[in-house]
Amino acid sequence: MRINVKGLELYYKVSGQGAPIVLLHGNSQDHTIFRVLIKKLSKSFTVYAIDSRDHGKSGKVHFLDYMSKMEDVAEFIRVLEVHKPIVYGFSDGGIIGLLLAIHHPDLLSKLIISGANINPDGVKRFFYYLMKIGYFFTHSNKLKLMLTQPDIPEEDLFTITTPTLVLAGRHDVIKESHTKLIASSISGSVLKILPGESHTSYVLHNEKLYGIIKSFIEG
């Protein structure tokens, strides 16, 4: 399905019935990374899986920034009148989720993020330099986004009142200390560092994520 959001066309898939949950994918991906998760969640929830701007089947842009991507999702929720959805965001989607909770706290009921960072310093140096090399050869606007953004002040996290679950793999591309900083800055948040998991291993086409999400929602 497609929806026009402030002149930009966003593609999304909706399935299931029940309380609404919005799924936000990572950089250079699209909603299809959640196929397994959607199948499981749609038995109990109405699932909205969005392709973010310049990704998947959504409209293309010449410049990417997280604030615009966040406002896309906020407007999506308003236009479709999705009442108080749970939001799960992976990687870039997690950054968008944090920004939503900071700037539009009235829109969400719960927030789940995994592998998110609040600035580029949160990325482990090895992976950061790999991205720099990739950008040198490709000049990809998606790589540029991760090299230069986000820029979320730590004090902004203190304002989040949405019940939040913070996830990361033990072998994530995000520094564990950075993930713990995010969790400790959000009052009442739940932190889970998953042993044996990487940035993507428990997210992409994996049933394990469903159990973690469902447990948090029900809890």
Q: Which of 179, 49, 72, 43 is nearest to 123 (CA)?
A: 179
Q: What is the pLDDT of residues 89-127, one digit of tens each?
A: 999 999 999 999 999 999 999 999 999 999 999 999 999
Average of per-residue pLDDT values in the chain = 97
What three-state secondary structure class fits 217? helix
> Which tens digits make up the pLDDT trace of 25-36?
999 999 999 999
> Is residue 30 within 8 Å of residue 57, measured between CB atoms?
yes
Indicate left, alpha or beta for 115 from its phi (over 0: left) and psi (-120 to 50: alpha).
Answer: left
Distance CA 192, CA 215 (A): 12
Entry pTM: 0.97
pLDDT tens track for 37-60: 999 999 999 999 999 999 999 999
